[in-house]
Structure 1
Amino acid sequence: MPSTEHPNKVRVLAVDDDADILDTYRAILEPRGIVFTAAETLDEGLRLAATRPFDVCLLDRNIGHDLGTDAVPGIKEHAPGLRIIMATANRDTEAAMEALRLGIHDYLVKPFSPEQLRIAVARQAEARQLSTRVEVLEQQVASTPSDDLDSESPAMREAIAVARRVAGTGANVLILGESGTGKNVMARAIHRWSQRADANFVTVNCPSLNADLLENELFGHRKGAFSGAIDSTDGRVAQADGGSLFMDEIGEFPLSLQPKLLRFIQDKEYERVGDPVSRQADVRLIAATNRDLKRMSEGGEFRQDLYYRLDVVSLVLPSLRDRREDIVPLARGFVQRFAGEYGCPARSLSDAAERALLAYPWPGNVRELQNVIERAVILCADEKLDAGHMNIDASSGMPAADGNATATSAAVGGEVSLEQLERAHIEAVLARCATLDAAAQTLGIDASTLYRKRKSYGLS
């Protein structure tokens, strides 16, 4: 159960019938920022473990006439993730082995030094946090197709329906949509719904590398192919053999390298850098872009034959402002996800917060909404997120002709173009953030995409 107090601090429960020992534990641990709670009886310790969240339990082996080991099953039943350290004056190896067999995680023999105690607590607290993080990630992975792709929007539902139909065909898929609309999530869902679900899903981020590095990343290299190539290396294509290769932002793929990609798509053959031997890989290609590939191909910025090979089946993901019925349900889901992940108290949205979310234009789409909610959950000390926690300005991204229209009026009245909206919002975020990386994170796009948009809009 996540804590509603001290969410980022280690919480220790100590159970011992000796008040002096408990005071000593407190004096050793509290200066390290640990939240310390003491119990002088097993019954009190069991009650606290069952009703309050702790990371580590320091349990004495002998508590009055009771054995601390007798409480272990009860602790594990009521607080299954709690890490238990047994403290005892008994140096008997068999006693230590019995404690470990019961599920106790560590064993300290008295007298032990303050440093031994601190190390033992730190080790078990780290194990507890890692276990919690793994559980959260597993839940996120398991819920991605149903949670992040649930929608009340007709346009989004149609895209999901097409994706499900095409998933089992093996055809190449081109996912179109603005930055942050969930193209990566859709690509992973297509892979999960396909017959290749048990094989690898491999991602290539096209804007992140220049042509030479991208060729090496994609196809691998032979030993000695270039300075520093001390071993032969497989590329992403080989890693994806039998599975799916997701090429994110394919519109940024270098024109000079496109013939090699085209050949691989056509023939399923490729060569590693510096290697004349042709290799084969059975890969299902899923590509995504926020750019107009058709226009680019007509203008010579992207090969037409490659475009047609990619565009066997295309899916268009609507922007978040075009699926407004999904904004609040998505936000509620993100609140639950991040509250669980970070152990924060926030569990719901106030009416004012929901109105603020609906009034905002979301140029960064679902990714920006996710980032805004994640930040709000981390910084909120209350159980309910309010509008002030959102850190969004509904008017910043929607200037009307006179420069003073609200987000809602512009969205409804259509007084500005999408490019004007995006330019104004990017300019506002750049002015607010200290670095380009911070601005990109706020906008829900990668730094290379932000760089290109700044250049396109003439923003310094």
Structure 2
Amino acid sequence: MLHTLVVDDEANIRKTISYCLVADGHTVIAVSNPTDAIEEAGRRSFDIAFVDLKLGEEDGMALIPVLLTDSPWIKIVVITAHASIETAVEAMKKGATDYIAKPFTPDQVKFITRRIGKIRELETEIAVLKEDIQRIGPEDRLQSRNPGMQRVIETARKAAASEAIVLLQGESGTGKSVFARAIHHWSPRSGKPMAVVSCPAVPSELLESELFGHVKGAFTGAVRDNPGRISVCEGGTLFLDEIGDMALPVQAKLLRFIQDKEYERLGDSVSRKADVRIIAATNADLEQRVAEGRFREDLFYRLNVISLTVPPLRDRKEDILPIATDFLAYFCKANHKHLLGFTNEAEESLSTHAWPGNVRELRNAIERAVILGSAEKIGANDLPGNITPALSAPVIGDKVSLATIEELHIRRILASTTSLQEAADVLGIDQATLWRRRKTYGI
């Protein structure tokens, strides 16, 4: 489906083109003059525009660069009653993709639209592939031998097929961004762009502009228009990483966008629409932040439609060595090395380390070991000095406190369930009590 703009001063032409495109499953906005065309283009994102070169007393040719300035991806087809090589060349120089001469048939309109539709699909696929190549790594393969992690992956696959907002929770470094990309690629929106906004990485005063865009002169330093990430990922997915750090004023505007699919660019009063799916991630306890007044309760409930808790690496020890082996192969190839694996001592250190930094810490440890290692295998001495075995897990009957047993049990239940409510039900306590226990034990 293409979002199409038709600009022609003749009502019959507008109706004819609109009928042809709607019959092919496309959406159409038809206007009669450049002013309305610019207004509609500012409010919505279009894939293609049919523009008549003679719009009454106005020149359609002058509209081409204006549309392209705000939407550089748009494909413009000029309509002319005086087809000539000179006209076509001039239109192409100004940025038009093709032209069609009056009188034309419905089949001609459908043919050119389908051809441009294929071009747009290829452009989007290329952009997505470029992003994937830049980010590709072994951690992007969502595989696990841990039952709790397997349940999270299966739930994510089911959620991907829907349009529901997904909230990813878990400690830093557990792979929440990997889940977000996977959900996008498993979803019907996979052919459209995915935009990523790291809320802590953008100063709070600039986050609104990063999301919604701004117009030139909206604030000091705004020397040109910025469409914003929402506009860029039209039809696709917006991933908001560490949303718990989002400032309250931006939270209010995000809530409005989630509810109405409408927003305004900073410094602009024009309301715009966008079809974008939201995936959010956080390593913070949003319920606690709601209680502290640092996160909007209504936004939390809007985001918490499908909640997935990614278990920490220490609670899925069966995954440590397989992931480490994948990292080893990846970094050996990247650094042109030929290492044969890990020594028994290194495997022991990797398997028993607590991994407070989770998969991200493991990745960094293996990369360092590959670069500095000189033997056939990675040894314990090649690993960072802080990679030390964790204390062995206590069992019933050991001379340890009840609190130690309770902490270990809560950690394991959280790792093997997909939501806080499910974990609380298994433990036989309410969510508020579970939240207090997690705070006490730093889980």
Give 1:48's aligned residue: none
Query: Which of 224, 241, 245 does residue 252 from structure 1 map onto?
Result: 245
Residue 179 (structure 1) shift: 0.3
Once the two structures are TM-superposed, the CA of residue 178 in structure 1 deviates from its matched residue by 0.3
Match of residue 75 from structure 2: none
Does 1:158 find its partner at 2:145? no
TM-score normalised over the length of structure 2: 0.58
Give the 4+ runs in structure 1 shifted more than 2 A.
Answer: 137-145, 392-395, 408-418
Alignment partners' CA distance in 1, 2:391 and 2:269: 59
Equivalent position of 2:288 in the other structure: 295
Q: 1:193 — aligned with what?
A: 186
What residue number does 1:211 align with?
204
- Which position in structure 1 is the counterpart of 2:176? 183
Superposed, 1:22-421 pairs within 5 Å as: 138=133, 141=136, 145=140, 147=141, 149-394=142-387, 407-409=390-392, 415=404
Does the Cα contact within 8 Å between 1:297 and 1:304 map onto a contact in 2?
yes
Paired-residue identity, %: 49
Kindly provide the CA deviation profile for residues 119-178 of structure 1, in whole angstroms up to 9, marking residues without a partner as x.
xxxxxxxxxxxxxxx99x849738665x3x110011100000000001010110000000
CA-to-partner distance for each residue in 1:252-294, whole Å, 9 max, x for gaps?
A: 0111221101001111111111000011111110000001112
In 2 relative to 1, CA 140–340 (structure 1 residues): closer, same or farther, beyond 3 Å? farther
1:380-421: CA deviation from partner (whole Å, max 9, x where unpaired): 1223101111114355xxxxxxxxxx6233677774998xxx
8 A Cα contact 2:139 2:323, kept in partner = no
Distance in 2 of aligned mates of 1:301 and 1:346: 49
Q: How many residues align?
A: 275
Q: CA RMSD in A?
A: 2.7
Contact 1:171 1:313 (8 Å CA) reproduced: yes
Residues 211, 256 of structure 1: 8 Å contact kept: no
Deviation at 1:222, TM superposition (A): 0.5
Structure 1 distance, partners of 2:394, 2:177, is: 26
Aligned partners of 2:138 and 2:327 also within 8 Å: no
C-alpha distance in structure 1 between counterparts of 2:240 and 2:134, whole Å: 26
CA contact (8 A) 1:222 1:273 kept: yes
TM-score (norm 1): 0.56
1:409 maps to a residue whose letter is S
Distance 1:373 1:247 in 2: 28
Code of the residue aligned with 2:189 in structure 1: it is R
Q: Tell me if the contact between 2:170 and 2:310 (Cα under 8 Å) persists in the aligned partners.
A: yes
CA–CA distance in structure 2, aligned partners of residues 380 and 170 of structure 1 = 47
For residue 180 of structure 1, give the secondary structure of its aligned residue in structure 2.
coil
* 1:349 to 1:365, Cα distance in 2 relative to 1, 3 A: same
1:417 & 1:388 partners in 2: Cα distance? 34
Q: In 2, are the aligned partners of 1:264 and 1:270 still within 8 Å (CA)? A: yes
Are residues 233 and 394 of structure 1, via their aligned partners in 2, closer, same or farther at CA, if it must alter by over 3 Å?
A: closer
Q: Tell me, in whole angstroms, the C-alpha distance in 1 between the residues paired with 2:283 and 2:378.
A: 32
Closer, same or farther: CA 381–287 of 1 in aligned 2, 3 Å: same
Query: Runs of 5+ in structure 2 lacking a partner?
Result: 1-128, 408-438
Give the Å deviation of 1:345: 2.5
* Alpha-carbon distance change, 243 to 143 in structure 1, aligned in 2, over 3 angstroms: farther
Q: Distance in 2 between matches of 1:363 and 1:187?
A: 22
Q: Distance in 1 between matches of 2:385 and 2:318?
A: 19
Q: Which amino acid aligns with 2:255?
A: L
User: Deviations 1:3-45 (Å, cap 9, x if unpaired)?
Assistant: xxxxxxxxxxxxxxxxxxxxxxxxxxxxxxxxxxxxxxxxxxx
Tell me if the contact between 1:238 and 1:281 (Cα under 8 Å) persists in the aligned partners: yes
Contact in 2 for aligned 1:335/1:347 (Cα 8 Å)? no
